[in-house]
Amino acid sequence: MSTFGARLRSAMDERGPLCAGIDPHAGLLTAWGLPETVEGLRSFALGAAEALGPVTAAVKPQSAFFERFGAAGVAVLEETIRICREAGALVVLDVKRGDIGSTAQAYADAYLDQSSPIAADAITASPYLGFGSLDPMIETARKNDAGVFVLALTSNPEGPQFQHASGADGRTVAQTVLDSLRDANTGESPLGSFGAVVGATIEDPTVALDINGPLLVPGIGAQGGTADDVRRIFDGVLHLVLPSSSREILGAGPDTAALRAAVESTAASFAALVR
């Protein structure tokens, strides 16, 4: 199996640069006419996986919306991951894990070791115990041709308190994270496997975003992010951008054709930015 970065580059080139979220929160279950039960969760998640998996470059299930149903919900998440991967989409499992030592390794084993029943192609991770705390995830990803997307510049209003703070060397925390990812991706081609999460609705960044790896950009659509925002924020590194949209696309469901049309339209609008 080739590296996650190489697989993602190929998928983005072939299917368009888009990561479609699968977020089965209560409002969307209701909108699809489904009950807020494990059965409703399963109908929603598998319906979305079967519709989106064959047409989008990547799919991003939000683990929390499955976990809230307990063990049965996690079983649905495992099935959702399997369906998406079998359909050719890369799965970025949105878990935002961050811990130290053996606990960080256990998270890595759960989600990145490809022998695990819940293994994905990549996960999201939090670096706020220090970037070095993610070393078990980075190394396990390397061994398994998987990837890690690390929070760097998020759109939530509380984020700047941490992300814009400066360290002793004068760099912001966000820049330190981005520099560490660039180091992790050194020499990788056509794309590194270690990416940053950068929101689509942030102000103009004052950091260097070229990390030789993917930039996962949530906040597209229902959260207000547009193609114009992406052009403004990521000028010069648009080829690295993997926009992520969840509610905007899922709102077209449950009709399979409508979901796929939403994916194809959204992906085309971002593909046009790099032509």
- Residue 240: which of 209, 219, 267, 263 has the closest Cα? 209
Q: Is the peptide bond before 127 cis (omega within 30 degrees of 0)?
A: no
Of 96, 142, 164, 171, the active-site residue reads 96
Q: How far is residue 265's CA from residue 164's CA, in Å, rounded to a whole number? A: 34
Which tokens is 205 given?
């960044």
Written as six digits, the tokens of 187 are: 């020499």
Find, among 254, 158, 171, the residue nearest to 207 by Cα.
Answer: 171
The full 3-state SS of the chain, as one line of letters, equals CCCHHHHHHHHHHHHCCCEEEECCCHHHHHHCCCCCCHHHHHHHHHHHHHHHCCCCCEEEEEHHHHHCCCHHHHHHHHHHHHHHHHCCCEEEEEEEECCCHHHHHHHHHHHCCCCCCCCCCEEEECCCCCHHHHHHHHHHHHHCCCEEEEEEECCCCCCHHHHCCECCCCCEHHHHHHHHHHHHCCCCCCCCCEEEEECCCCCCCCCCCCCCCCEEECCECCCCECHHHHHHHCCCCHHHEEEEECHHHHCCCCCHHHHHHHHHHHHHHHHHHHC
Q: Is 96 a catalytic residue?
A: yes
Residues taking part in catalysis: 96
